[in-house]
């Protein structure tokens, strides 16, 4: 387990530092406090995600390029209002090294607008990410079959499936394509089967905080759970998962 002591108010970390691969720092009242608490708690990196024009711009402002990095894009719920922001993404990426991916993007057939619009916005951003040689962060709810068809057709090579809700069969198919499956801090029997079915090289951890987790530090609990299921020491589990995320996002 990660431990820490402090000296002159600076953290001295014992153990492996961790990465929250997906959260929304712009939704916290004071992102700076969250960043500071996360650093002292053992996190080396936080990836904060956009999903609309406003949240993407907020993610860019909050990211510091040292501990916090941003992924920006238009999610299914914002497809009807913010599609034109896609035209601006390339300029922001070229001007900001702290932007490391395109996301969250994808399909949501439970709360999103019409399917044709969602697919168009998703596919435009996939092609944009490919032109920039960047990974995508995929949101998929009630739409996994269409999502898989689209990423295969566009030959997506670098992707993380955020807050994965599918079963172990789908997880293994996505892993076979080389993608990361991101595990949130919510335990379930289906998620347990997914973790058991995957090689650890295809796993990342996230909090989706404050929507799901309370803070980025909740990744510690998720890594503990994965280490128990895999029968691996906590430090080895955290180190391998951290390396997965670093490799995908070129950190």
pLDDT confidence band for 1 (50 / 70 / 90): very low
pLDDT confidence band for 8 (50 / 70 / 90): very low
Helix/strand/coil for 8: coil
Sole residue written with tokens 């689209």: 150
d(CA 1, CA 236): 10
CB 84 within 8 A of CB 42: no
pLDDT, mean over the chain: 93
CB 144 within 8 A of CB 113: no
**pLDDT over 70 (residue 192):** yes
| Residues whose CB is less than 8 angstroms from the CB of residue 155 and which lie 6 or more positions away in sequence, other chains included | none
pLDDT, one tens digit per residue, over 153-189 is 999 999 999 999 999 999 999 999 999 999 999 999 9
Q: What pLDDT is recorded for position 17?
A: 80
Complete domains list, the chain, with CATH = 9-249 (3.20.20.140)
pLDDT confidence band for 11 (50 / 70 / 90): very low
Strands (E), the chain: 3-7, 10-14, 18-23, 43-49, 68-72, 99-108, 136-141, 159-161, 180-183, 203-205
pLDDT, one tens digit per residue, over 84-120 is 999 999 999 999 999 999 999 999 999 879 999 999 9
Q: What pLDDT is recorded for position 16?
A: 58
d(CA 179, CA 189): 22
């Amino acid at each position: 387990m990660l431990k820490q002591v402090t000296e002159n108010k600076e953290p001295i970390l014992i153990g492996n530092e961790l990465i929250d691969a997906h959260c929304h720092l712009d939704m916290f009242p004071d992102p700076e406090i969250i960043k500071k608490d996360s650093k002292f708690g053992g996190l080396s990196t936080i990836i904060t995600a956009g999903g609309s024009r406003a949240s993407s711009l907020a993610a860019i402002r909050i990211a510091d390029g040292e501990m916090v990095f941003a992924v920006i894009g238009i999610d299914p719920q914002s497809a009807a209002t913010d599609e034109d922001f896609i035209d601006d993404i390339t300029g922001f990426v070229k001007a900001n090294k702290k932007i490391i991916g395109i996301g969250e993007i994808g399909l949501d057939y439970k709360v999103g607008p019409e399917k044709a619009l969602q697919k168009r916005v998703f596919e435009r951003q996939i092609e944009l990410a490919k032109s920039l040689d960047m990974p995508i962060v995929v949101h998929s709810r009630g739409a996994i079959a269409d999502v898989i068809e689209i990423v295969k057709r566009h030959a997506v090579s670098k992707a993380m499936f955020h807050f994965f809700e599918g079963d172990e069969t789908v997880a293994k198919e996505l892993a076979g394509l080389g993608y990361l499956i991101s595990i949130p801090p919510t335990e379930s029997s289906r998620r347990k089967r997914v973790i058991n079915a995957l090689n650890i090289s295809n796993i990342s951890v996230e909090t989706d905080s404050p929507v799901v987790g309370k803070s980025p530090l909740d990744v510690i609990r998720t890594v503990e759970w994965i280490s128990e299921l895999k029968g691996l020491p906590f430090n080895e589990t955290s180190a391998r998962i951290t390396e997965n995320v670093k490799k995908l996002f070129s950190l």
